[in-house]
Structure 1
Amino acid sequence: MKTGKIIIAIDGFSSTGKSTIAKQLAKELNYIYVDTGAMYRAVTLYAMKNNYVSANHLDSEQLIDNLNNIKLSFLFNAELGFAEMFLNDTNVEREIRTIEVSKLVSKVSAISEVRKKLVQEQQNMGKDKGIVMDGRDIGTVVFPNAELKLFMTASADKRATRRYKELLDRGDKVNYEEVLFNVQERDRIDSTRKDSPLTKADDAIEFDNSDMGLNEQFERIMSLVNDRKQ
C-alpha cells in the first residue's frame, strides 16, 4: 500500500477558514504549511509603505520595478504552532492581517508580475510534496496536479461575521458593515481579475462550511486525505 506524501491544495473565498483547516492538516500530517495569502498581503504591505498603492491609487510599474527588493520568508513560531510571515527579515504577521491591508490586497494580487513571482516561489516550496497550501489559485495554477484539491466556500454574511469577530478579538476597531463590504469586494475582484481568477478546479471537492463545525470539517477532510495517500 502506497502512503507517500502528497500535495494538498486549498482554494476558496476570503474568510472561509482555509488557513485554519490547512494548519490543522499540516500539524496532523507533519507537513509544511504555506499561507499564500500572507505572501500577497506582505507584498501589499510593502506597496503601502512605499506609497505604491492606496484606496485611490496604484503605481503598478513602481511595484513591479521593485519586486526584486522584496524578500518573503516563513519562520516557524513554536509557541504559536505555525510559521509567521517575514518581509525583508521583519515579522509582519500582525500588520498584514489588518483591515487596511485586506482592502488593498486584491488590487495588488491582480498584478500579473506579482503573481508570477509568488507562484514560482510557491511551486519551489512544494517540489518535495508533503505540503498544505491555501490561497486562490493553488489547485488551478500553482499545483494543477495536486493529489487533493479543496474549494472552501460559505455565505458572505457568515464569512464577514467570522472576520469581524477575529478583528475584534485582535483589538482592531472595525464595524461589521465595513467588513462585509470588504468580503464582497474581494470576492468580486478575485473572481473577475484577468490573471488567475478565483475559480474552482474541475477536480476540486467543494466544502460549504457555512453551518459546519471545525471538528466535523476536519474529520471529513482527513478522511479524504487518507484516501488520497493510499
Structure 2
Amino acid sequence: MLGVLPQDGPGAEPPSYLYYAVIETDRDTISVGESFTATVYLCNPGDRDILLEPIRQFAFSGNSLYGPEPVNNAVFLSYPGGTKIKVGAGDRTVFLRRVFTPLYPGPFMVTCPGAEATVNVTGARRVPISSPEVGLKVEFSVTGRLVHALLILVNDNPYPVEVPVFMQLTRYKEFYGFSSNTTSYISWAIRFFEVEAHSTKVAWREEMGITGENYEYVCIFYVEGRVAGGSYPPP
C-alpha cells in the first residue's frame, strides 16, 4: 500500500517493508443517528524505524449493511514539501481519523486498503409515512358482523422503522349505496408507529358497517400525500 524510502549512509541496512494498516473505533455499539470516530493506524512490527512516502489519496469508506451507498470514499490529503511519514520500530502512528454517523440499523463497516472494522448500530430507522421505505395497504376485518377497514403500515426492510404519527387523515367511504368524505384531525398518545423488520402494523381502524348478503364497502385513505384503498368483500 505504501512505499518505504531507502536509508542512506555507509553500512545502512535496508529498511523493513513489513508494515500494515489497522482501523480502530472509539465505540463498538451505537444507536441510529449517533456518531463514532474511526482511526487508521500505520503499524511497524519491525525492529527499525521506517519512513513512508506521503499518501495523497486514500480510500476510506463507511457503509451500512443496509444502506444504499458508502458514507465516505476517496480522501485527498496535502502535505508540506519534504514531509515523510515516520513509524517507529515496533510502534504505530495515527494516519487518518474520520467521524461517521450511521443512519441505518445493523452492522456498519469501515474499510481502507488492507483493514476493516465493524460497529453494531442498534435502534430503528426513522422514516416519514410519505417515504417509499414504508408501504401502505388496506385490509378489512370482521368481528361478529361488524366490518372495519384497516390502514396498515408495511415494513419490508430488514431493519425496524419508526414512523411519526400523522395528524390529519381523510377517508372516502362507500357503503349501502351511499358515499362520504371525512377528514379528522388526530391527537395521539404516542409519537411514532414502531414497525419491526419484515412486519406490519395497524395505524388506523375505520368502522364501516355490518356484513350482509348484498353489502359492499369501499374505503380509501389519504394521508400525507399518499393513497391506499380497498373493498370488501374482495373482488
TM-score normalised to structure 2 length: 0.20
Q: Which has the higher contact order (CA 8 A, sep 6+)?
A: 1
In terms of fraction of residues, the more helix-rich structure is: 1
Bigger Rg over Cα: 2
In terms of fraction of residues, the more strand-rich structure is: 2
TM-score normalised to structure 1 length: 0.21
